Structure 1
Amino acid sequence: MSDERDRAGKSGAHGSGAKRGPQHPIGKSGPHRAGGPARPFDKNSTTGGTERPAPGRGPRWVAYDTLRAVHTSDAYANLLLPRAITRAGLSGPDAALATELTYGTLRREGTYDAIIADAAARPVSAIDPAVLDALRLGTHQLVAMRIPTHAAVNETVRQVRQAAGKPAAGFANAVLRRVSERTRDEWLDRLEAAARSDDERLAVRYAHPVWVIRAFRRALDAEGRADELALLLEADNVSPVVTFAALPGLADIPAGAEATPYSPIGFRSAGGDPAALVTASGGRVRVQDEGSQLAALALTRALPVREGERWLDLCAAPGGKTAVLAAEALAHGALLEANELSPARAGLVRDSVAGVPLEVPVSEEDGRARAGRGRYDRILVDAPCTGLGALRRRPEARWRKQPADVPALATLQGELLDAALGALAPGGIVAYVTCSPHLAETAAVVADALRRNEGIVELDARGVVASLSLSPIDLPDVAGTGRAQLWPHRHGTDAMSISLLQRA
Structure 2
Amino acid sequence: MKTRGDRGPGGRGGGSGRPRRPARDQARNAAFDLMRAVDERDAYANLLLPRLLRERGIRGRDAALATELAYGTLRGLGTYDAIIDACSDRAPDPDVGDALRLGAHQLLKMRVPPHAAVGTTVDLVRLRVGAGAAKFVNAVLRKIASRTLEEWVEIVAPDPSADPVGHLAVAHSHPRWIVSAFRDALGGGDEMPDLLDADNARPLVTLVARPGRSTVKELEAAGATPGRFSPYAAYLQEGDPGQIPAVSETRAAVQDEASQLVALALTRVPLTGSGGGELWLDMCAGPGGKAGLLDAIAAHGDQSGPEGFPGGARLLAADVQHHRARLVRQTTADAFVVTADGTAPAWRPGVFDRVMLDAPCTGLGALRRRPEARWRRDPSSIAELGKLQRRLLGTALDAVRPGGVVAYVTCSPHLAETRVVVGDVLGRRHDVEQLDARAHLPEVGGLGDGPHAQFWPHRHGTDAMFLALLRKRA
TM-score (norm 2): 0.89
User: Given the alignment, which residue of 426, 439, 444 partners 2:420?
Assistant: 444
Pairing 1:181–2:143 present = no
Shift, 1:370, TM fit: 2.4
Shift, 1:65, TM fit: 1.4
Give the length in aligned residue pairs. Answer: 453
Shift, 1:51, TM fit: 4.7
Aligned ranges 1:11-160 → 2 under 5 Å = 21-23=2-4, 48-54=16-22, 58-122=26-90, 126-160=91-125
Counterpart residue number, 1:475 = 447
User: Given the alignment, which residue of 459, 463, 466 partners 1:497?
Assistant: 466
CA distances 1:295-320 after superposition (whole Å, capped 9, x unpaired)? 11111222268643221111112211
Counterpart residue number, 2:173 = 207
Report the secondary structure of 1:54's partner residue: coil
Determine the C-alpha separation between the residues in 2 that align with 1:306 and 1:100.
53
The residue type equivalent to 1:247 in the other structure is: R
Counterpart residue number, 1:322 = 291
Distance 1:157 1:271, change over 3 A: closer
Report the secondary structure of 2:208's partner residue: strand
Distance 1:465 1:432, change over 3 A: same
Determine the C-alpha separation between the residues in 2 that align with 1:368 and 1:168.
52
TM-score (norm 1): 0.84
- Seq. identity, %: 49
The worse-fitting range, judged by mean Cα deviation, of 269-278 and 104-113 is 269-278
CA contact (8 A) 2:282 2:291 kept: yes
Determine the C-alpha separation between the residues in 1 that align with 2:249 and 2:237.
19
Determine the C-alpha separation between the residues in 1 that align with 2:318 and 2:441.
25
User: Given the alignment, which residue of 330, 335, 359 partners 2:314?
Assistant: 335
Determine the C-alpha separation between the residues in 2 that align with 1:315 and 1:421.
14
The residue type equivalent to 2:79 in the other structure is: T
Distance 1:280 1:242, change over 3 A: closer
Distance 1:43 1:492, change over 3 A: closer
The residue type equivalent to 1:178 in the other structure is: K
Pairing 1:252–2:215 present = yes
Shift, 1:281, TM fit: 5.7
Distance 1:55 1:220, change over 3 A: closer
User: Given the alignment, which residue of 286, 301, 304 partners 2:253?
Assistant: 286
Shift, 1:372, TM fit: 5.0
CA contact (8 A) 2:242 2:248 kept: no
Structure 1 alignment gaps of length 5 or more: 1-19, 29-41
Pairing 1:366–2:341 present = yes
Query: What is the RMSD of the two structures over their aligned residues, measured on CA atoms?
Result: 2.4
Shift, 1:90, TM fit: 1.7
Distance 1:317 1:190, change over 3 A: same
CA distances 1:463-500 after superposition (whole Å, capped 9, x unpaired)? 1122xx2xx5222314xxx1000111111110000001
Structure 2 alignment gaps of length 5 or more: 301-310
User: Given the alignment, which residue of 136, 153, 160 partners 1:171?
Assistant: 136
Determine the C-alpha separation between the residues in 2 that align with 1:502 and 1:190.
53
The worse-fitting range, judged by mean Cα deviation, of 276-285 and 446-455 is 276-285
CA contact (8 A) 2:407 2:467 kept: yes
CA contact (8 A) 2:340 2:346 kept: no
Counterpart residue number, 2:327 = 348
Determine the C-alpha separation between the residues in 2 that align with 1:66 and 1:78.
10
Counterpart residue number, 2:307 = none
Determine the C-alpha separation between the residues in 2 that align with 1:395 and 1:318.
20
The worse-fitting range, judged by mean Cα deviation, of 363-372 and 103-112 is 363-372
Shift, 1:174, TM fit: 2.2
Counterpart residue number, 1:220 = 186
CA contact (8 A) 2:413 2:464 kept: yes
User: Bigger relative contact order, structure 1 or 2, given CA contacts below 8 A and separation 6+?
Assistant: 1
CA distances 1:375-399 after superposition (whole Å, capped 9, x unpaired)? 3221111111111111111121111
The worse-fitting range, judged by mean Cα deviation, of 194-203 and 152-161 is 194-203
Pairing 1:463–2:463 present = no
